[in-house]
Amino acid sequence: MKKILITGGAGFIGSHVVRLFVNKYPDYQIYNLDKLTYAGNLENLKDVESASNYNFVLGDIVNGDFIMELFQKEMFDGVIHLAAESHVDRSITNPMEFIMTNIVGTVNLLNAAKHIWKDNFDGKRFYHVSTDEVYGSLGETGFFYEDTAYDPHSPYSASKASSDHLVRAYHDTFGLPIIISNCSNNYGPNQFPEKLVPLFINNIRHNKALPVYGKGENVRDWLYVIDHASAIDVIYHNGKTGETFNIGGHNEWKNIDLIKVLIKVVDKKLGREPGSSEKLITYVTDRAGHDLRYAIDSGKLQKELGWEPSLQFEEGIEKTVDWYLENQEWLDNVTSGNYQKYYDDMYKDR
Ligand code: NAD
Ligand code: DAU
C-alpha cells in the first residue's frame, strides 16, 4: 500500500488529479493536503470524499514544523505538489503571498521529504507541478522546449521559476528523486472564476462586461484539465527521475479569438443569438508585464511516455461551458462572499 501526498488537491487541477488517483489506484492511500484558500473548495471532491483510500488534511505548506510532523507521522512514499498561489493578477497586487507559498512552501516539502526518506530514495518520488510561464514570452513564432532558458516576468512566474530551481537543486545536491512538469494554460470544470475562461462564461451568463486586457492579442496554449491530470499520472509513474517534461496541447489561441468562440457557445446554450454577447467585450488597461505568447512543445512527453491529449479544443470548450451552466450553484457559491470585493478591486482602475 503506497501513501501519496497530493498538495493543493482542493484546487482546480489538484481536484482532477486527486479524483484520477483515488479512482484508478485503489491500492494507494491518497492524502490531499490543502489550506483551503479562496481557491480551494472541497465541493470539487464530493464524489470521492467517502472513498476508503482518500484522506483530507487541512494545513498550510508554509508552516515548516507542521509539514515535518505530518511527513514523520504518515511516512509518504510519494509527493505530487500542486499547492500554489496561481493567479498572475493577484501576484501583481500581493507578491509576498506567492513568495511564501510557492517558494517557502515548496522548500518545506522538500526538506520534509529529504528528512523522512533519509537518503534511501528507492521507490520514492517528489513530483513538482509547474508552469510554462517560467520560460517567459515568445514572439510570433517558436516553442518552449524543456531546455529553454528561464525568463519569468510576473511575481507568479518568478516564484514558480524559483521553486523549480530549488527542486532541481535538491536533486543535484542531495539526490532527492524529483521530477518536474511545466504545463500550458488549463481550462475545464472547477476552475475558480478569476481566470479567463470561467470568468468570461460567468460574465456572459450575467450580461456583464467582458474585460479584455490590452488589444486581446496575447496568445495562450490551452489544454483540457483532465488531459493535464492524465499527463501527471503518466509522468509520475513512468518519467525518469531528475527529468523535466513539458505538457501542452498544441492549441494556441489569440485571447480575442478564444473569447469570440466562448461567446458563441454560451449564447447558443443560453438560447441567445450566437455572437450577440460580443457587445459585452470591453477593452481595458493591459496587465502589467503581460507575456505576449506561450506555446509548448510537448514532443518529449509524447515520444518518451506516449502521452497524447484526449480531447479536441471544440469538444473541450463545449464540455466546459456545459459544466459551468449545469453547475450554477457551484459558481454562485464561489462568487458569493469575498468574490465581489476581489472583482471590484481588480477591475476598478482598468
Ligand atoms: P488553484 O489556485 O486552483 O489551486 C491551488 C490550491 O492550492 C488551492 O486548493 C489552495 O487552497 C491550495 N493552497 C494554496 N496555498 C496553500 C498553502 N499555503 N498550503 C496548502 N495549500 C495551499 O491552482 P491550479 O490552477 O489548480 O494550479 C495548480 C498547480 O498547477 C499550481 O502549482 C500552478 O502553478 C500549476 N499550473 C497551473 C496551470 C493553470 O492553467 N491553472 C497551468 C500550469 C501549471
Ligand atoms: O500558462 C500557464 C498559466 O496559465 C498558469 O501557470 C497560471 O496559473 C494560470 O493562471 C494561467 O495564467 P494566465 O495569466 O495565462 O491565465 P489567465 O486566465 O489569468 O489569463 C489568460 C489570458 O487572458 C491572459 O493573456 C490575460 C487575459 N485576460 C485574463 C483575465 C482574467 C483578460 O484579457 N481579461 C481577464 O479578465
| pLDDT tens column, 5-32 | 999 999 999 999 999 999 999 999 999 9
Residue 225: predicted pLDDT = 98
Average pLDDT, the chain: 97
In terms of Cα–Cα distance, which of 349, 63, 20 is closest to 33? 63
Give the pocket of ligand 2 (CB within 6 Å).
Answer: 86-88, 131-133, 184-185, 195-196, 199, 211-213, 218, 220, 255, 287, 294
Each residue of 227-264: pLDDT tens digit? 999 999 999 999 999 999 999 999 999 999 999 999 99
Q: Are 85 and 102 in contact (CB under 8 A)?
A: yes
350 has a pLDDT exceeding 90: no
Contacts of 74 (CB under 8 A, 6+ apart): 3, 5, 31
91 has a pLDDT exceeding 90: yes
Q: Ligand 1: distance of its center to the CA of 107 in Å?
A: 16
What would the mean pLDDT of 69-91 be, rounded to a whole number? 98
3-class secondary structure per residue, the chain: CEEEEEECCCCHHHHHHHHHHHHHCCCEEEEEEECCCCCCCHHHHCCCCCCCCEEEEECCCCCHHHHHHHHHHHCCCEEEECCCCCCHHHHHHCHHHHHHHHHHHHHHHHHHHHHHHCCCCCCCEEEEEEEHHHHCCECCCCCECCCCCCCCCCHHHHHHHHHHHHHHHHHHHHCCCEEEEEECEEECCCCCCCCHHHHHHHHHHCCCCEEEECCCCCEEEEEEHHHHHHHHHHHHHHCCCCCEEEECCCCEEEHHHHHHHHHHHHHHHCCCCCCHHHHHEEEECCCCCCCCECCECCHHHHHHHCCCCCCCHHHHHHHHHHHHHHCHHHHHHHCCCCHHHHHHHHHCCC
Q: Ligand 1: distance of its center to the CA of 267 in Å?
A: 30
Residue 93: predicted pLDDT = 96
Residue 105: predicted pLDDT = 99
Which range among 79-83, 209-213, 327-331 shows the weakest confidence by mean pLDDT? 327-331
160, three cell numbers: 514558480
Each residue of 187-227: pLDDT tens digit? 999 999 999 999 999 999 999 999 999 999 999 999 999 99
Residue 1: predicted pLDDT = 83
Residue 56: predicted pLDDT = 97
143 has a pLDDT exceeding 90: yes
Q: Ligand 1: distance of its center to the CA of 128 in Å?
A: 12
Side-chain half-sphere CA neighbours of 279 within 13 A: 7
Please indicate whether residue 60, judged by its CB atom, sits closer than 6 Å to ligand 1: yes
> Would the pTM of this model clear 0.85, i.e. be above it?
yes
- Residue with the nearest Cα to atom 16 of ligand 2? 195
pLDDT category of residue 61 using cuts at 50, 70 and 90: very high
pLDDT category of residue 313 using cuts at 50, 70 and 90: very high
Please indicate whether residue 183, judged by its CB atom, sits closer than 6 Å to ligand 1: yes
Ligand nearest to the CA of 89: 2
Each residue of 262-277: pLDDT tens digit? 999 999 999 999 999 9
Burial of 120 (0-12, 13-18, 19+ CB in 10 A): exposed
In terms of Cα–Cα distance, which of 83, 131, 137, 140 is closest to 109? 83
Homologous superfamily (CATH) for 2-185+224-247: NAD(P)-binding Rossmann-like Domain (3.40.50.720)
* Residues involved in catalysis: 132-133, 156
pLDDT category of residue 119 using cuts at 50, 70 and 90: confident
